[in-house]
Chain A
Amino acid sequence: MIVYLVRRFGQSLLAVVAMAVLVFMGVYAIGNPVDVLISPEASQADIAAATARLGLDKPLWQQFGIFVINAFQGDLGTSFVYGRPALDIILERLPATFELAMVALFLSVGIGVPLGVWAGMRPESIAGRTIMAGSILGFSLPNFWQGMLLILVFAVLLGWLPAGGRGQTTEFLGMQVSFLTLDGLSHLILPAINLALFKMSLLIRLTRANTREVCLQDYVKFARAKGLSGRRVVLVHILKNIMIPVVTIIGLELGSMLAFAIVTETVFAWPGMGKLLIDSINLLDRPVIVAYLMLTVLIIVMINFMVDVIYSFLDPRIRLSEMKG
């Protein structure tokens, strides 16, 4: 088990290093880092100073060393637009994105898994077929388009909910959050649904397929033959088996949720780090882009690592075989 975790941790570290190299190559080797990292409006003296600070006059491998050392110290460049460290600006926006992704994850798991189990237990029923048809729709509609439909229906036509922004926020565990006030909540609902729908469809399909497969297994029949209640058969015998693939997908999708938050935040003008990224791309604020990329890569690699740990805990076949090996 420990051997497995250590090895897995090593792989994660390798992924971060690989991505750091790629980002570095993208910025330093392919483009002209002076253009990328130093504001176009900078004076000749500023450019010279920055060139010296970033070590752009040194050989490539030394530049990479400086890049890594700076990155470890949290220095991923200074925003052209805000004139402040890029990482600080992103970290300021992180709570908004984090809140949005968490609520969306909660929605997609809380609704998607039960619906998928339901549809898997009764695949031929009308409810089962309706759930499946709905999930195909949720799968097919592009994310931004779903968001626009939500705005059109609930904000423009019905006027029930605001079309964008974050609303009133309060402090919770040292973070500014929306979900504790009514105004904040009303701003949060549509973007969270938007971000959740695609994952929900994915989870419905996955849970349904796994439930169907598990239901056919002898051990489910044996559990019933033991006289267990239907609830226990579903909640313990079936759910515990389908949780293994479902948790994996949830974890992997959490990473992609951060990426899709870029789209949702843009559609709903939600002031998170995804919207910041798009704004930075439009304003050519490249240090912020680089910082965003490095931070997101780190987060995704961390999530993937945690998923593997949880996965190995859930499946005794892996946990115990690795223990021996």
Chain B
Amino acid sequence: MTKLLEIRDLHTHFFTRDGIAKAVDGVSLSLERGQILGLVGESGSGKSVTGFSILGLVDAPGRVVSGQVLFDGTDLIAGGERLLRTLRGKRIAMIFQDPMMTLNPVLRIDTQMIETVRAHEDVSRDEALRRSREALVSVGISSPDERLETYPHQFSGGMRQRVAIAIALLHKPDLIIADEPTTALDVTIQAQILSEVQALCANSGTALIWITHDLAVVSGLADHLAVMYAGRIIEEGPTRDVIAQPMHPYTKGLIESVPRGKKHGALLSQIKGMTPSLLRLPSGCKFRPRCPRATAACEIEPALDVMDQGRRVRCVHPHTENYPEVLAK
């Protein structure tokens, strides 16, 4: 059986006045049906652009330069806008970061939901309305009839994000791409939404790409993790293994900078330096200038090496010291 999604050597570049920013620079990923993938990275690492590239929603001056996005065996890049439009919202849905901005402020909720249903299926307005109501109930919105007749600004941020999720669920898609959907919300709301999305995906067998900068959020959710840095994937593997034994110094740094509260008063470690500008990347390994392990050997860009247990890492000096023990566990 073909994989649900397979990205092969994707390159998405932004052609700015100051030069070409390679936001996505040779990313390959794959996803099974019903699987949850956590795509992790700092802002500017190319994780969101990867998500947008799948649906062909990269804004000018950016565009997908090369690569393949095979969805159920069909190449979306080659398929172009016409093919993409039939899939968007229908088989691949998207949830955005800021719920305050994703709903059109001058259109009522019912308008925005009904148009989504009718964009893909030739159904009556009443039928579309009925399905919208159902979707709202499924994301835990009470008195949906009332809610449908209101405007986005009458909702709280958490409620708006639920509406956005309901819109994403309208066609029971095979894949949802969620671009930091809980970042802008309060912590309590964040947890609610997280568990609801998890339950919804498990019930309907929907695969999920959860894009985030927050390892803590995604570690409890995702089956699989991919860590991005400067437009590339630098480490990938099953979530538990990656968290337990990060191999790339960057991943290790990310994990160690998450507060865990075990050692009260202990200083948090941090990754020194700042995210590099995509226009002025160093040669060789892109993490080299910030890396505690960097040597002269790092001046040649390492490949994404395949390790045991379905893991991949792009590093000359990976943390493999205790690796056998972890495997034996």
Contacts and interface: CB of A to CB of B under 8 A. Distances in A.
Interface stretch (A220-228, A249-257, A263-271): A220-228
Contacts of B57: 221, 224-225
Given A218-B96, A221-B59, A317-B153, A227 B119 contact: yes
Contacts of A221: 57, 59, 96
Interface in A223-241: 223-229, 232, 236-237, 240-241
Interface stretch (B33-41, B83-91, B306-314): B83-91
Contact of A226 (B89, B153, B154): B89
B116 A241 contact: no
Contacts of B105: 219, 241, 316-317
Contacts of B102: 218-219, 222
Interface string A205-226: 0000000000011110111111
B29 interface: no
A35 interface: no
Interface string B159-200: 000001001000000000000000000000000000000000
A317 B151 contact: yes
Query: Which of B57, B107, B164 neighbours the largest number of chain A CB atoms within 10 Å of its CB?
Result: B107
A161 interface: no
Contact of A241 (B59, B106, B154): B106
Contacts of A237: 104, 107
Interface string B67-96: 000000000000000000111111001101
A227 B154 CA distance: 25
A38 B269 CA distance: 91
Contacts of A224: 57, 88
B98 A226 contact: no
B64 to A, nearest CB: 15
A219 B103 contact: yes
A321 B167 CA distance: 26
Give the interface centre of A216, A219, A229, A314 by most chain B CB atoms within 10 Å. A219
Contacts of A229: 85, 119
Contacts, number: 79
Could you tell me the dominant secondary structure of chain A's interface residues?
A: helix
A226 B177 CA distance: 12
A220 to B, nearest CB: 8
B300 interface: no
B88 A225 contact: yes
B153 A232 contact: no
A225 to B, nearest CB: 4
Contact of A240 (B87, B106, B153): B106
A29 interface: no
A217 B85 CA distance: 19
Contact of B116 (A228, A236, A316, A317): A228
A218 B87 contact: no
Contacts of B96: 218, 221-222, 225
Contacts of B151: 316-317, 320
B154 A222 contact: no
A221 B60 CA distance: 12
Interface in B108-137: 108, 115-116, 119-120
Contacts of A247: none
A237 B90 CA distance: 19
B268 interface: no
Nearest to A237: B104
29 contacts: A124-B60, A217-B101, A219-B101, A219-B102, A222-B103, A225-B55, A225-B57, A225-B93, A226-B88, A226-B115, A226-B119, A227-B90, A227-B116, A227-B119, A227-B120, A228-B89, A228-B119, A229-B119, A232-B119, A236-B115, A240-B107, A241-B104, A314-B106, A315-B106, A316-B108, A316-B151, A317-B105, A320-B153, A320-B154
Nearest 8 pairs of A and B residues by beta carbon: A227-B89, A227-B88, A218-B101, A226-B89, A225-B94, A316-B151, A222-B102, A219-B104
Given A218-B102, A225-B88, A226-B119, 9 more contacts: A219-B102, A222-B103, A225-B55, A226-B93, A226-B167, A236-B115, A240-B107, A244-B106, A320-B154
